[in-house]
Amino acid sequence: MNWLSLFSDPNTQWILMGSMLLGLCSGVIGSFAYLRKQSLMGDALSHAALPGVCLAYMVTGTKSIFFFLIGAIIAGILATVAIGYITRNSRIKQDSALGIILTVFFGVGIVLLTQIQHSSSGNQSGLDKFLFGHAASMIKLDVYTIAGISAVLVALCFLFFKEFKLLSFDPGFAKGIGLPTILLDQFMMLLIVTAVVIGIQAVGVVLMAALLITPAVAARYWTEKLHVMVILSGLFGAFSGFAGTLVSSMVNNLPTGPLIVLSATVLFIISVLVAPNRGVLAKTRLRFSVKNEHKLFTNKQVKEKSL
């Protein structure tokens, strides 16, 4: 299939637009989660969203992103509260608490999903597609919804950029100058949950955490400045959505969600190899340069001593 002809297909246009906007907003939000060393938190919240989505469908009987968002937000809030409670009131560390909550909520979600599939409306629900995503099912209304929510999420990130920057690098100082760090932390978790919900249709619950973190990690290799990293992460996420959707459209029987994540992984590998200063090639070149300079300096000293 000629890849240029794909852009004339309205359905492909909607899927491309939705995937790119999703990648953009995921990359921007994921930057702060990565810098705060809460990569596993994004994974936990994405898995915790599944029971919320299932309960929203069971209550309303419709596949509406709006109702899914409400259900996932409630589930995400419960998950963050549970993680905080376990961490504060026991000897269990945060990473262990995250693992516990992740598996428990995801297990409950799988049970509810199985129950829905065996119900009278199970054949029409199609919620199993939300595990690994089904971008081909996106319609114009879905893209408009993703576009609107993505724009709000990105705008909020830039509006609270200074606060999130302080919270990411020095939460103690942020608390000392009077910033409501607990509220800001919960607010950031809310943004992550919202990004997860709008992404489950394209990428799926299981892989959404990768789309949040991988562009941010790749962007970190290219710069030392936070605002540049956030912009690069958003662009990497948007390009991943574009490339994954394009490959999926050109090759039959290839899922869009995993290909989007694989595209982000390719960008990460390229960043690891060729990024200036932090890349493997740059470090290898620097190591050889230092080694050669040391060798020349040693030879010079030997010659001077011999004279």
The CATH number of whichever domain residue 7 belongs to comes to 1.10.3470.10
**pLDDT at position 247, please?**
86
**pLDDT at position 263, please?**
93
In a domain, 251, yes or no: no
Boundaries of domain holding 178: 3-209
Sign, Cα dihedral of 100, 105, 108, 109:
negative
In a domain, 290, yes or no: no
**pLDDT at position 7, please?**
65
What is the model's pTM? Answer: 0.83
Biggest alpha carbon–alpha carbon distance for the chain: 96
In a domain, 7, yes or no: yes
Q: Which residues of 235-248 are buried (b: 16+ CB within 10 A; e: fewer)?
A: bbbbbbbbbbbbbb
**pLDDT at position 231, please?**
93
In contact, 222 and 276? CB cutoff 8 Å: yes
> By three-state DSSP, how is residue 91 classified?
coil
**pLDDT at position 147, please?**
83
Count structural domains, the chain.
Answer: 1
Average pLDDT for consecutive 10-residue bins of the chain (307 residues)? 62 81 90 82 80 87 78 84 84 84 89 82 61 70 82 91 88 86 84 81 77 92 91 94 86 80 93 88 84 73 65
Q: What is residue 203's DSSP assignment?
A: T
**pLDDT at position 89, please?**
86
In a domain, 9, yes or no: yes
In a domain, 219, yes or no: no
